[in-house]
């Protein structure tokens, strides 16, 4: 079970659904803020939770940006069956800011720089007919 704010509420990575919508997940691969193991057993990345606004389509979320966020490390990137990026991880155990001895370690800056890039993305709007 997750035990601290960082692992529950801050992104470990982001993943794309079959509808090209993205969501951020925490260290237990649950949508951010979820901390319930019972929910984990029923949660699947490709499912839609229409009553929970966890999936979003974003402008300018390109493969180039996704690779930058994943540190251009292939083990930080998962591809779907068609070769498109499906999931990226923002850090691994060795680069997790919380696993370092000091709160002033370089991994905090790297992590927050990634969050700054993600925070600039805007939601795609659907055209009304």
Q: Over 80: is that where the pLDDT of 105 sits?
A: yes
- Per-residue model confidence as pLDDT tens digits over 7-66: 888 999 999 988 888 999 888 888 887 766 565 555 555 555 545 557 888 989 999 999
How high is the pLDDT of residue 110? Answer: 95
Domain ranges in the chain are 5-119
**Regarding predicted confidence, which is higher, 127 or 112?**
112
CA atoms of 65 and 88, how far apart (whole Å): 11
Percent of the chain with pLDDT over 90: 48
For 111, half-sphere exposure in the C-beta direction (CA atoms, 13 angstrom radius) is 23
């Amino acid at each position: 079970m997750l035990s601290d704010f960082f692992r529950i509420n801050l992104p470990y990575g982001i993943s794309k659904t079959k509808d090209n919508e993205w969501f951020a997940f925490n260290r237990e691969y649950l949508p951010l803020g979820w901390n319930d193991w019972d929910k984990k057993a029923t949660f699947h990345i490709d499912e839609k939770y229409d009553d929970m606004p966890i999936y979003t389509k974003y402008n300018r979320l390109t493969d180039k940006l996704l690779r930058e966020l994943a540190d251009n490390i292939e083990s930080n990137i998962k591809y779907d069956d068609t070769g498109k990026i499906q999931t990226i991880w923002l850090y691994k155990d060795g680069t997790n800011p919380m696993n370092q001895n000091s709160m002033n370690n370089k991994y905090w800056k790297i992590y927050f720089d990634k969050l700054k890039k993600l925070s600039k993305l805007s939601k795609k709007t659907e055209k009304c007919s």
